[in-house]
Chains A and B, each alone.
Chain A
Amino acid sequence: MNWEPLLLTFELALTTTIALLLVSIPLAYWLSKTTSRIKPVIETLVSMPLVLPPTVLGFYFLVAFSPNNAFGEWLNSWLGLQLVFSFGGLVVASMIYSLPFMVQPIQAGLASLPASLSEAAAVMGKSRNITLFKVLLPNIKKSLLTGIVLAFAHTVGEFGVVLMIGGNIPGRTRVASIAIYDEVEALNYEAANFYSLTLFAITFGMLLLVYLINGGYLKRFWK
């Protein structure tokens, strides 16, 4: 059996999740605090991947990242980034595609904390960063875990975006979901079943773990 597409899938999901976490914490923090008028616009943009067909996102990424137009060429010449049909491109597209799954739980978690917690820390002379990392985030572990796992699982389950922007290059962009489609088209049901079953089992296990942890069934291990 060829493990390559499965390994690539989890490599993509892991890279995306870590990068997304770094982006989402400041974004969610800003959204939970701001009274700016553009907040609804930003919130809408963050949520768009929930409702748009992945092919729409994929299509615009393809157009934007293409070296044939200004933005793609700028990326290529200034940063040496070739985002079309490459792993890097998949990571960027996946981050946008899974953004709401990471941002929304963290934002909701931060918003649920009483304002007096940050105010108390401010009165004690603590900076915003210290307050965020020492007080706010440790009190929304459940939300963080939910965001991390949902973003990871959602990236594993990607198909349309990957197909549009990544294509089907073995070892570089051929993730499990694409491989399954490919094998089915070639009437190679045994291989398709192998990929599918593995994905099914792993994602089931992950989500089950989240529900067990957040439901308090494993309280001894997670406080």
Chain B
Amino acid sequence: MIKLSYQKQLKTTDGFFELSIDLDIPKGAFICLYGPSGAGKTSFLRILAGLLAPDKGSILVNDIPWYHSDKKIGLSPQKRNIGYVFQDYALFPNMTVQENLKFAQRKGQTKDLIPELMEVMELSQLANRTPDTLSGGQKQRAALARALVQQPDILLLDEPLAALDAQISTKLQDYILNAHRDYSLTTILVSHDLGEIMKLTDTVVVMEQGRITKSGRPQEIFMNRQLSGKFQFTGTILSIEKQDVIYVVTVLIYNTIIKVVADATEIQELRNGDSVVVASKAFNPVIYKIPERS
């Protein structure tokens, strides 16, 4: 159980804003931080990892204070057993994939997870390659494996799949989900990808301007609750065309382009580039807009 309650003044290009967090994260949860860029999501991860210190408040993990401003406690990142997959992966360029994993091993660690992780993440072929010779997906796998070597209790993922194409990221989502279950992790993911969020996480925490504005199950946050859809997909509107009395909306869902028929009232709040859910309601698919991120 992670109990967060802290404030931190953050400097941005538009001046200062306050990150103010009150959140309990149950053990074994898979949480997504969702919100516009500059909302403080990465700072949230950095504070939990100990790379950034809050101004006041407390961070309790299993009732052990990692940070407590009144008691003057601030555990260094070295002492918080956390796996962190950075946005740029942060693989060490001077080491091969295997050496990267080996470096992550803790002193006195009894169980050597490296062979298992190399196998599961399909890194065996790449063991002796250096990071600069790897593709984005391979780097991501190596970074994920490296973060798990030290058998962390908490796994932090900072938009790890943002730079990858849909096919590879689908596969990596499976790796992440399996790791989360197999190693009974508490995982916190920063993501903008609705498909990814729906697939992986059990709770979405929406952040805006340094504050948590909403939290709940992904379906509650992103979808109309009354909807009893047989199937539903999220995608992006490519174009809206008028044909006689109806409109044809072209939507990109992963790498598939589909056309959905909509009427004049439905079309009113839709624009090109909007994120939408396409769902079937009884017989005909309906289309409506997902509430904006920003």
Question: What's the least CB distance linking B108 to chain A, in Å?
Answer: 11
The answer to whether A124 and B103 touch across the interface, beta carbons within 8 angstroms, is yes
Query: Which residue of A is nearest B149, CB measured?
Result: A124
A-contact bits for B48-90, CB 8 A (1 contact / 0 none): 0111000000000000000000000000111111111011101
The answer to whether B84 and A120 touch across the interface, beta carbons within 8 angstroms, is yes
Query: Which residue of A is nearest B91, CB measured?
Result: A120
Q: Is B115 an interface residue (CB 8 A)?
A: no
Count of chain A to chain B residue pairs whose CB atoms are closer than 8 Å in the complex: 55
Q: Is B187 an interface residue (CB 8 A)?
A: no
Q: Can you sample 9 A-B contacts with CB below 8 Å? A: A116-B90, A119-B90, A120-B90, A121-B103, A123-B49, A123-B80, A123-B82, A123-B84, A125-B106
Assuming the contacts A138-B94, A139-B93, asked whether A122 and B78 have C-beta atoms less than 8 A apart, the reply is yes
Assuming the contacts A119-B51, A119-B77, asked whether A124 and B90 have C-beta atoms less than 8 A apart, the reply is no
Assuming the contacts A125-B150, A135-B94, asked whether A119 and B86 have C-beta atoms less than 8 A apart, the reply is yes
Question: What's the least CB distance linking B130 to chain A, in Å?
Answer: 9
CA of A125 to CA of B84 in the docked complex: distance in angstroms?
12
Q: Is A117 an interface residue (CB 8 A)?
A: yes
Query: Which residue of A is nearest B99, CB measured?
Result: A134
Q: Is A44 an interface residue (CB 8 A)?
A: no
The answer to whether A122 and B76 touch across the interface, beta carbons within 8 angstroms, is yes
Note all chain B residues with C-beta closer than 8 A to A135.
Answer: 92, 94, 103
Note all chain B residues with C-beta closer than 8 A to A124.
Answer: 103-104, 106, 150
Question: What's the least CB distance linking A138 to chain B, in Å?
Answer: 4
CA of A217 to CA of B93 in the docked complex: distance in angstroms?
20
Note all chain A residues with C-beta closer than 8 A to B78.
Answer: 122-123, 125-127
CA of A116 to CA of B59 in the docked complex: distance in angstroms?
23
Note all chain B residues with C-beta closer than 8 A to A139.
Answer: 92-94
Q: Is A215 an interface residue (CB 8 A)?
A: no
Query: Which residue of A is nearest B158, CB measured?
Result: A116
Q: Is A114 an interface residue (CB 8 A)?
A: yes
CA of A134 to CA of B94 in the docked complex: distance in angstroms?
9
CA of A30 to CA of B280 in the docked complex: distance in angstroms?
61
Question: What's the least CB distance linking A63 to chain B, in Å?
Answer: 46
For chain A, the bracket of interface size reads: 10 to 19
- Which residues from chain B sit less than 8 Å from chain A, CB to CB? 49-51, 76-84, 86-88, 90, 92-94, 103-104, 106-107, 150
The answer to whether B90 and A117 touch across the interface, beta carbons within 8 angstroms, is yes
A-B pairs with lowest CB-CB distance, top 10 = A116-B90, A138-B94, A120-B90, A122-B77, A116-B86, A125-B78, A123-B84, A124-B104, A139-B94, A123-B77
Question: What's the least CB distance linking A68 to chain B, in Å?
Answer: 50
Note all chain B residues with C-beta closer than 8 A to A120.
Answer: 84, 86, 90, 92
Question: What's the least CB distance linking B214 to chain A, in Å?
Answer: 29
Question: What's the least CB distance linking B164 to chain A, in Å?
Answer: 18
CA of A139 to CA of B99 in the docked complex: distance in angstroms?
14
The answer to whether A134 and B86 touch across the interface, beta carbons within 8 angstroms, is no
The A118-155 residues at the B interface (CB cut-off 8 A) are 119-127, 134-135, 138-139
Note all chain A residues with C-beta closer than 8 A to B83.
Answer: 123
Note all chain A residues with C-beta closer than 8 A to B82.
Answer: 123
CA of A16 to CA of B76 in the docked complex: distance in angstroms?
37
CA of A131 to CA of B79 in the docked complex: distance in angstroms?
15
Q: Besides A116-B86, A125-B150, 12 other CB < 8 A contacts? A: A114-B88, A114-B90, A119-B51, A119-B86, A119-B90, A120-B86, A120-B92, A121-B103, A123-B77, A123-B78, A124-B150, A126-B103
CA of A117 to CA of B92 in the docked complex: distance in angstroms?
7
Note all chain A residues with C-beta closer than 8 A to B49.
Answer: 119, 123
Question: What's the least CB distance linking B207 to chain A, in Å?
Answer: 21
Query: Which residue of A is nearest B46, CB measured?
Result: A119
CA of A91 to CA of B79 in the docked complex: distance in angstroms?
42
CA of A202 to CA of B81 in the docked complex: distance in angstroms?
53
Select the residue from B49, B84, B87 with max chain A CB neighbours within 10 A.
Answer: B84
Question: What's the least CB distance linking A13 to chain B, in Å?
Answer: 28
